[in-house]
Amino acid sequence: MRTHSYVRVAVLVVSAALPWTASAQDASQPAVSTASPIPAQIDETIVNLPTTLPLKEHASYFRLTHRFARDLRRGSFGDLAQDLFSLDNGAIIGLEYRYGITRTLQAGVHRSIFNKAIVAFGRWDAWAQTEGRPYALSFGGGIEGNNNLRQDYQPAASATVSHTHGDRLAVYATPTYVHKAHTDTLLELHEGHQHDTPELEGGGDARDTFFLGLGARVRLRPTAYIVFEASPRLAGYKPDRAAWNAGIEKMTHGHVLQLNFGNNFDTTPGELARGGDKHNVYMGFNISRKFW
């Protein structure tokens, strides 16, 4: 494991251990309308799924995703300790940048080293939650491809509906459609999971996939939250289990630092459409930052 990975994890753990009463910059952005900010929303994503938090006009957003490749369920406690609970193993790293074109329109790019996947995407925030409207709505779409966006093209479209309850709870639903979530090449490059439908082994078909992303963010203390998300498939690609992730996070001085656990390395719509492992659990973290 390289030293910089230890440093990133140390920053995450130390930041999470800071006193809950520490002063922190409010990462919530003004709603699309004139409604006041919604404190329960602090980031553009839950773990992998999108939120409806707007990005200010001409503001920038950067996110680092990091998923350690060791299964936490493999081996004894002593084996895990020897591997420093997966920190000594390799990792799947992703980098994301997005830009606020207007108060309601943003665009960005995300790259994961897993299959060298790149996603170019955009999002339109149709409306924000107000006193007279109990939910917010955003529409997103993009094009994803492996080998640095040169093969296995997977266009995707989604809508995200959110509702916040006071400043403590935000819940989300994100129906998502991914075109050609499964191809021959993707099957060869997939994570080596045991597949539930043998007819797809070596199969020559591509599967358009529809999944429903569900998630929540709960505020525990002024700057501490827990998050959970799952992405059950409703149609299309069926092998493996639905992707799920859970985590704890800390908001501090413009950053959101999140330690998460899940059954996948997924950070893109196409990867979420292909699901997660049936048995394994991996540790990871996200670090995000906004620039005004």
* CA atoms of 292 and 287, how far apart (whole Å): 17
* pLDDT range class, residue 39, cuts 50, 70, 90: confident
Note the pLDDT of residue 90.
74
* CA atoms of 11 and 1, how far apart (whole Å): 16
pLDDT of residue 12 exceeding 50:
no
Give 229's contacts (C-beta < 8 A, 6+ positions apart): 46, 47, 48, 49, 172, 213, 214, 215, 216, 244, 245, 246
Note the pLDDT of residue 203.
40
pLDDT of residue 223 exceeding 50:
yes
Range of the domain at 219: 3-17+26-192+199-291
DSSP state at residue 252? E
Closest to 286 (Cα-Cα) out of 4, 12, 6? 12
pLDDT of residue 101 exceeding 80:
yes
**Range of weakest confidence among 152-156, 169-173, 174-178, 237-241:** 237-241
pLDDT of residue 21 exceeding 50:
no
Span 157-180, average pLDDT: 96
Residue pair 156/177 in contact (Cβ under 8 Å)? The answer is: yes
Render pLDDT for 252-277 as a digit per residue (tens, 0 to 9): 877 999 999 999 999 999 999 999 98
Average pLDDT, the chain: 81
Render pLDDT for 45-65 as a digit per residue (tens, 0 to 9): 999 999 999 999 999 999 999
CATH number at residue 161: 2.40.160.40
Number of domains within the chain: 1
Render pLDDT for 195-211 as a digit per residue (tens, 0 to 9): 444 344 434 456 899 99
- For residue 214 the two structure tokens come to 């569900």
More confident residue, 238 or 205: 238
Span 64-71, average pLDDT: 86
- pTM beyond 0.85: the answer is no
More confident residue, 76 or 8: 76
pLDDT of residue 193 exceeding 50:
no
* pLDDT range class, residue 68, cuts 50, 70, 90: confident
